[in-house]
Every structure is written in structure tokens, then in C-alpha cells.
A and B are shown apart, each in its own frame.
Chain A
């Protein structure tokens, strides 16, 4: 499988949230270049070309990373921390997705260098709108230096 043209890396453990999010992005025209991983460990394998992604071109990085905060094995927060502390990947925009605005997560994510933070709304209209805006903003308006 060719991973070299992946523009959006999307890490989400909830199958339902993944389906709905991918659908929202598809409707906004970003799906063909999106790659979905089911947890944080797989997200790190993808970014740093390890495990199943060992053959991926290490010079190619996605233009945007969407991370669900609460995932098994490795959380979105830990992925964020590794991406932002690595000089090769720290300039990739990272948007955190979460089911709630509970806890100190928001401040912690921004402290670690998250570029945006979205609480997934229950109402799907709002959800689609939010996802669409993320895609538009980070894919079109702010071009990363890659």
C-alpha cells in the first residue's frame, strides 16, 4: 500500500466516530488522501515509519494530524507530545478531537503544542461543520512548510 500521498492522518479508536468523521471529511472533499489508524501506537508507527509502516518513505509526512484524545495503548496526548518534541515533525499541525470538555485536557494539549482542540458535538450537523472547518483551515488556509 502506498502511504506517500497521505495528507491527513486520522487516529480514532471509536469505529462510529471514525465512520462519521471520515464521512464528514469525504463530503468536504478530503477523504482520498486520508489515512485512519485505530490507536495511538499505530499513529506513532505511521509517523515514524515503524512496524507495519517501516517501508513508508520517511521523508514524507502528512499535512495534518487529527488525534482523538482518549485511545487505548497510546493516548492522543502522548502522540501529540512525541510529534511536537521531534524536530522533524513538530511543525505538522495537530488537531485534538475529544468527546468532552472535561478535565485539564484542553490546557495540557495547548501546552504541548496542539494547534487546535475540538469537542465533538453530539449534533451531527455541528460535527460535520466542525470537521469541515478543520479540514478547510489546516489544509487550505495554513500551508505547512513541507
Chain B
């Protein structure tokens, strides 16, 4: 192995190369594969057609999330309720059948461990630092918060991993995003990542793997790191990572699939060796001062359309690039917004707190803190809080957070992807606005014609209370 200083990404990469080809591609070993119902049926279909088995079912975990309704899954007498949408039911049934048939551990929709793939992986100790982790969902980058090299793949790649436990990859360039200083009150990990995406743009990280560095990430909770890495893809990067440290080890220790005993000690020693070496260089570096980050929201239909909550809806002319100008024009039209409007004057009819970006216990706590003793505004017609997993749900209920949420007039749901994407019954009606803690504000993402404003859980809770986009610092001081 070379003695040249290496980055975290480089070290994980080197440890997983099975074969290097002359043309620059490498066959890379995959340690953990998580599958869900949407991107796997066609992969199993192909395996079956070619009579190929799954190479390492023991490194694969299946859990349904995208299609599941978040309303009660069992009736009063404990019978499992049928899924109304026949196509959703068909996809869910396919996973339920395919996983065991190929020897893969399947978490059922009514198991307490069920949840969103990117919440379940870390929570079960299935996702580990230094591991290569893939899943047929672009927010797999999320697991990078533990110091894993994790990225989303398409269905053909799902098939490739199932059959061979490897992927053919080209090494990415490296990008350092450094945030240093002290975050102000009310500024959360979601604000940090929205701010970064606003700065670098949705193509800023294309071809790169981002490593988030600096004291802000070192001091950040694991939940927060998962939130930050989750949205790396919105910044164009395929993966994002944060070096594993004591906080990471403490988070993982004792989880069901985490290493134990002697293996644990060996793991920690190796994980510690993964941090980027002094003197290692990145292909690109971006530095942000923590003090410059405000509670942030999006106003447009691209995740780079961000603004501090104190700002105004921009005009197309505010942008230098001609094609961005026309994109902004289309986007403002879709969003039904007039340039110059104060962001805090924008009314919302829906609030969604959930998704793999913000549905972990810390997120539910942050929302509950704002909601405590308050009630949602009358103009907010639909407001739901969707825990990321059954275990998050249990934990929140043990802390009494569900009660705070329900007392505030919001609904407390069953775990799943919910209104992050318009694939299950949770949708935002056309023309209506949603304060959402998810990761994408694309046209139609939350339902045809739905208008999404991305923000942190605390900010979404504040919007529920006032019925408008709101600076949470005005409510909770």
C-alpha cells in the first residue's frame, strides 16, 4: 500500500478494490446491500431469468418503505390491513416473496424494525464505518454520516450486486466541504446542508465524493451527520462522508448487527485509521463559516434555490446565468411566487415532518420542542409527523413526544417514506404549499402540482404553528 497521504474516501476505496482494470474502472466489493420494493423487482426478474442466485444474501437486508401507507397497518383485532393501491400492493408483495426466496432477511411492514431504508441501516448496526454500502435509492449517501462509502444505484446495479456482491466503478474525485465556527441558535444540520447546496449548486459536486470536515461536523450528533450526508446527492455528489469518531462508535455499539467482543475492538482500531491523513489533498475545496448559516428554506423547484428565512423571493434577473434565469422564471411560476415577497409572508397549507433526511429521534424531538404547548394554525389543513422507523416511533412515544404532536393538532403516523415522494397515499394537493423536511423540492415530487419548501424539522414545526414560513427563532428563543 502506498505511503502517500490518503483521504478517508481513498482508504475505503483501496480496501475494497477486487480488480483494477487498465481503462480506469475497478471492480469494487460491496459490504452491505439494502433493498426495498421499488428498485428491486426487475433485478430479481433478471436473476430468475438467468437462473442466477444471490451471492451473499447474508450481506443483504430487505425492507419495504416507499409504497407503504403511513396509516394504521393492522385493525383493532390485529389483522393486517390490505394495501388499497393495487400497484403498490403488487410491488410490496414482490419484495415479500423475492427476499425469502433468495435467502435474504426481510423486515415486514408490521415489524417494529421496519422503516425507511436509510434509517433502518444505521439503526440496526447494519451500516458500519468503512463499509461500502449500496441501495437502489439515491439518498443512500445518508449512511456516509457514519463514515461509510455509501451511494445510490440503479436496478441493473442492484442486480449486479445481488449476483456478484461487487460493482464496476470509476474512482470519483474528492471534494472537501469545510464548515468551521459556531452555529447560531436555531441553526440545525438541515440548515447547514441546505446552505451548502445553495452555495455549490446542484451540479457542484458532480463526479466527486464529498468529505465534510471541520469542527461543526465533529461536534454534530450522528443523526445530524446522517442528515447532512443524505443530501450530498442534491449537491451533485454521489456520496458524502464524515470521518468516524468516538461519537460514531458510541452510536453503533450494541446495535443488533454491530460487531461484538474482540471483533468490536478490531473494528474500532481500523475505523480510527480511516481518517484523512494530514497532507492528503482534495480535488476541490469549499469553505463555509458557520456564522454565515441562517435557518434556511427553499423557494424554488431545485434544492439549490435556497435562502435564509429572513430573505425575499428572488427575481430571475438576480441571477447572472441566462439559463438559470429562465429556470427561475419557470420555477417561480410553478411555485406561485412573486419576486420580492418576504419568505415569512408565504402561507403553507401542509406540513410534512419525516423522510430519511429528518425522521430520526432527534428530528422528532426538535419538532416536538417547537410544538409543545402550541397548536397548528387554522390554515394548515394537513400536518403529519412520520417517524423514520418503528423503533424511532417507540422511542418517541416512550418520551411522550407523540402526545405533544397530537395535542398540537398534527397527525402521528406509521413509519415510511410518506410525503417525501408521491408514491403512497401521502400527497400534497395540486397548487398547495408544503413545509417539508424532505430532501427534494422538484416539480411534482410531493404530488402533481405540489409546491414544496424544504427546511429543518424545527422550522417545519414553526410553520405548522403560524401557518406561514417562519423563523423558528421568533418562536423559541
Are A and B physically bound partners? no
**Interface residues in chain A, defined as those with a beta carbon under 8 Å from any beta carbon in chain B:** none
**Interface residues in chain B, defined as those with a beta carbon under 8 Å from any beta carbon in chain A:** none
